[in-house]
Chain A
Amino acid sequence: MSSKNLKIALAGNPNSGKTTLFNALTGLKQKVGNYPGITVEKKTGKAILSEKVLAEIIDLPGTYSLFPKSMDEQVAQQTLCNNDNEDYPDVTVVIADATNLRRSIFLLTQIIDLNMEVVLALNMVDIATKKGIVVDVNLLSRELGIPVVAINARKGKGIVALKEIIIDSIDKKPKFPFLEVAKLFKGVIEQANKIRGVENNFASFMALCKQKLSGEIDNRCALNQLCKIEEIIPERAQAKETVKRYAQIDKVIKSTVKKGTPIGKYMLTKKIDDVLIHPIFGYVVFLSILFLLFQAVFSWSAYPMELIDELFTNLQQFTADSMPKGMLNDLVVNGILAGLGGIVIFVPQIAFLFAFIAFLEDTGYMARVSFITDKLLRGVGLNGRSIIPLLSGAACAVPAIMSARTISSWKERLITIMVTPLMSCSARLPVYTLIISLVIPADEFLGFNLQGLVMMAFYLIGFVSAIAIAFFMKFIIKSKERSYYIMEMPSYKIPDWKTVLYTIIEKVKVFLFDAGKIIIAISIVLWVLSSFAPGNKFEQIEQKWAGIENAEIQISADKLEHSYAGIIGKSIEPAIKPLGFDWKIGISLLTSFAAREVFVGTMSTIYSVGDDDIRSIQKRLADVKRQDGEKFFTPAVGISLMLFYAFAMQCMSTLAIVYRETNHIKWPIIQFLYMGVMAYLSSFIAFQLLS
């Protein structure tokens, strides 16, 4: 037997243990991407089924049926129903939860009726048995006419048997259809088969119900005509079929499942929920968890981030010293290594945030979070699950935007992604700290430290504007998807650490490789802009300062002023003058695009401060005078500058991740523009009013 490369699709309801089974089958040999043109995540992995059989496993998005209600579910339908699809499987494995068999085999029976090679992996049979739900696996297999394997995906039980059965099932269709759909609609299905030129009753039924299967465009008219003649209303027909299918499922369940007390399994969960969805304690617990999450992303990740920073600084130093001096040295050190460092620095925050999210998701708590916050957030166009991205945006928008994946409605997810960067992230903190210490007196105001109050006000501005813009976008962004909130609340369970770990690895990989490419490219552009000047300007500068000792600081300030970045800074001066900014700030705005905190470094270079210590920069900036001899950094300039940083989209990493997550260049551009306009207008108004 020659070695084969099989395609296996993994299908099942959300929360059925599909991802755990996927991890158990593929280990770390996974690839995550997007389906072309849409934002649904595509997970594939390689599995060794036997010595000779290798398989590519496709983890389909969780779905309850083959009649999709969302983009995710549509992917599952298109993969399974369209044999021209590049991912059309040789064998489909449907995973079902034994403790909840009725609902979880609904999808399976539809796949059986498509006459596909399908295997049922019955998850948690052992746990069901303990709970008094005894499933006769062999009888179930006979009743369904397909192979059934009892597994426990978490403990890795039954995986070997499942692999063997997958290999056995190649080219073996189900023994009989589960529901004779043709009998429900006398003669109609046969006519539909004829129109479609395919002998597949259930597929033809789906086509009649306006589902777009392969090559369906040509038959649309004929099928609609058939519906008209036979007086078939697709919605009614579909409802009728679903009810009949469940009636048939109930018959099968009755003969194969012996139930103890079905309510019993809910008891522990009920007790936990008494606290976690309590009208008061529920929110207290949630806020505490958010606080902990914020601490993790904000403070705990500070140590590894410092380490990474140090590592890259040393690496840059080492490279600068060991490579021959010149352009290439500078490109590697200040372009590529600086860019790389700027990417890797995010890894601890991403890891911490997703450790938390995966943990909350896997225990079943996230479903409760949506449950108690849905009403509050829906009013402004957001979703109960938007709260996590929004609040973790206060640490860093990059992991926050990635975490918006858990929002199932595309519109609500998009709005969340669009407004999350308005939250004051940790990169704005050094900018705020510097300017506040510069222009706001350390006085007391109503018994509070005024500087602290201003800082808080800026955090609040971020949050309030995010909510306001979300509310605004709710009316602008059109969506064909209806906003549903029909969700299963899974029972609580102890999280599977492997799943948590895999999630972290997956997210870090996505960020490093997908967003990383864009970030490196922009870093190099920024490097080119600030290290080149037209003509021989740089040589002139070096000659000018030649012979003068300890002039490095002045030289770099002089060079930056005359570089392309400096030229851009100067040429935008007329535009930013009404905001109270000069060309020096203009250059800093430009370089801040690498990351907002770069502002501090650029200001120190351009004002020749010599070191990056905030206090020495502040002292130097406080002495900067206007031409008329007055202080340059007045409260008006400071507030205007802070407002600009509060609103402007000055973070290429965020733009890169927005592009990755929305899969369309349109969204990061819109975000860049709307935030830019907000920044400009608010700075303009503030400066004109205050000065």
Chain B
Amino acid sequence: MKILADLSIGAKGEMLDISDNLLEQKLLEMGCTPGEQFEVVRKAPFGGPIAILISSYVLSIRKEDAISIEVKLLVNE
């Protein structure tokens, strides 16, 4: 198990669990359901948001929020 915030660009993974309740509901509704695969495509400079490609669209999340997202690492680049 890994934390989304720790992944580097190019890493591919699978959504597992989101520990923050409010965040969880919002992300679930946007299609980040457990088992859904994603790829980290961008990281904003200065520790800004992270962008992931999931469900064929790009979603950006603050790094602080990505700390509460647990993922399974599939491919690390």
In-complex Cβ contact of B65 among A484, A490, A491 (8 A):
A484
Interface string of B41-75 (1 = CB under 8 A from A): 11011111101010111111110010000000000
Beta-carbon contact of B57 and A100 below 8 Å: yes
Whose C-beta in chain B lies nearest to the C-beta of A15? B57
A487 interface contact, C-beta 8 A = yes
Interface string of A457-495 (1 = CB under 8 A from B): 000000000000000000000000010111111110000
Beta-carbon contact of B48 and A374 below 8 Å: yes
A246 interface contact, C-beta 8 A = yes
Most buried by A among B33, B47, B57, B59: B57
B1 interface contact, C-beta 8 A = no
**A282 to B49 CA separation, bound complex (whole angstroms):** 14
In-complex Cβ contact of A486 among B30, B34, B42, B47 (8 A):
B30
Beta-carbon contact of B44 and A374 below 8 Å: yes
Beta-carbon contact of B56 and A99 below 8 Å: yes
A239 interface contact, C-beta 8 A = yes
In-complex Cβ contact of A371 among B25, B34, B48, B56 (8 A):
B48
Beta-carbon contact of A372 and B45 below 8 Å: yes
Beta-carbon contact of A488 and B58 below 8 Å: yes
Beta-carbon contact of B56 and A262 below 8 Å: yes
Whose C-beta in chain B lies nearest to the C-beta of A238? B25
Beta-carbon contact of A243 and B33 below 8 Å: yes
Beta-carbon contact of B24 and A375 below 8 Å: no
Whose C-beta in chain A lies nearest to the C-beta of B45? A279
A284 to chain B, nearest CB (A): 12
Interface string of A227-244 (1 = CB under 8 A from B): 000000001001100110
CB-CB under 8 A from A273, the residues of chain B are 42
**A484 to B26 CA separation, bound complex (whole angstroms):** 10
B74 to chain A, nearest CB (A): 14
Beta-carbon contact of A242 and B29 below 8 Å: yes
A664 interface contact, C-beta 8 A = no
B55 to chain A, nearest CB (A): 5
Most buried by A among B21, B25, B28: B28
Beta-carbon contact of B28 and A100 below 8 Å: no
Interface residues on B, range: 20 to 34
How many A-B residue pairs have C-beta atoms within 8 angstroms? Tell me: 111
CB-CB under 8 A from B55, the residues of chain A are 100, 102-103
**A495 to B23 CA separation, bound complex (whole angstroms):** 32
In-complex Cβ contact of B56 among A67, A102, A482, A485 (8 A):
A102
Most buried by B among A263, A282, A486: A486
Beta-carbon contact of B49 and A374 below 8 Å: yes
A173 interface contact, C-beta 8 A = no
- Given A239-B28, A371-B44, A375-B49, the answer on whether A485 and B62 have CB atoms closer than 8 Å is yes
Beta-carbon contact of B30 and A266 below 8 Å: no
CB-CB under 8 A from A489, the residues of chain B are 51, 57-60
Whose C-beta in chain B lies nearest to the C-beta of A110? B29
Beta-carbon contact of B26 and A486 below 8 Å: yes
CB-CB under 8 A from B62, the residues of chain A are 374, 484-486
B16 interface contact, C-beta 8 A = no
Beta-carbon contact of A487 and B33 below 8 Å: no
CB-CB under 8 A from B24, the residues of chain A are 235, 239
A65 interface contact, C-beta 8 A = yes
A361 to chain B, nearest CB (A): 16
CB-CB under 8 A from A262, the residues of chain B are 56
**A375 to B64 CA separation, bound complex (whole angstroms):** 10
In-complex Cβ contact of A375 among B21, B46, B58 (8 A):
B46
**A67 to B21 CA separation, bound complex (whole angstroms):** 14
Most buried by A among B25, B42, B47, B60: B60
B27 interface contact, C-beta 8 A = yes
Beta-carbon contact of A487 and B59 below 8 Å: yes
Whose C-beta in chain B lies nearest to the C-beta of A277? B42
Whose C-beta in chain B lies nearest to the C-beta of A102? B55
**A260 to B41 CA separation, bound complex (whole angstroms):** 20
Beta-carbon contact of B44 and A64 below 8 Å: no
Beta-carbon contact of A242 and B33 below 8 Å: yes
A106 interface contact, C-beta 8 A = yes
Whose C-beta in chain B lies nearest to the C-beta of A243? B33
Beta-carbon contact of B48 and A375 below 8 Å: yes
CB-CB under 8 A from A488, the residues of chain B are 30, 57-60
- Given A246-B31, A246-B33, A482-B22, the answer on whether A372 and B48 have CB atoms closer than 8 Å is yes
**A239 to B34 CA separation, bound complex (whole angstroms):** 11
Whose C-beta in chain B lies nearest to the C-beta of A278? B45
**A486 to B26 CA separation, bound complex (whole angstroms):** 8
CB-CB under 8 A from B42, the residues of chain A are 273, 277, 371
Beta-carbon contact of A69 and B26 below 8 Å: yes
The 5 closest A-B pairs by CB, nearest first: A375-B48, A279-B45, A489-B58, A65-B29, A103-B31
Known: A102-B31, A485-B60. 18 other contacts (CB 8 A): A67-B25, A69-B22, A69-B25, A100-B56, A103-B30, A106-B31, A239-B28, A242-B33, A273-B42, A282-B45, A371-B42, A371-B44, A372-B44, A374-B44, A374-B48, A376-B46, A484-B65, A488-B58
28 A-B pairs (CB sep. < 8 Å) = A64-B30, A67-B25, A69-B25, A99-B56, A100-B56, A100-B57, A106-B29, A106-B31, A235-B21, A235-B25, A239-B28, A242-B25, A262-B56, A263-B53, A266-B53, A269-B58, A277-B42, A371-B48, A374-B62, A484-B23, A484-B62, A485-B60, A485-B62, A486-B30, A486-B62, A487-B59, A487-B60, A488-B58
Q: Which A residues contact B (CB, under 8 angstroms)?
A: 64-65, 67, 69, 99-100, 102-103, 106, 235, 238-239, 242-243, 246-247, 262-263, 265-266, 269-270, 273, 277, 279, 282, 367, 371-376, 482, 484-491
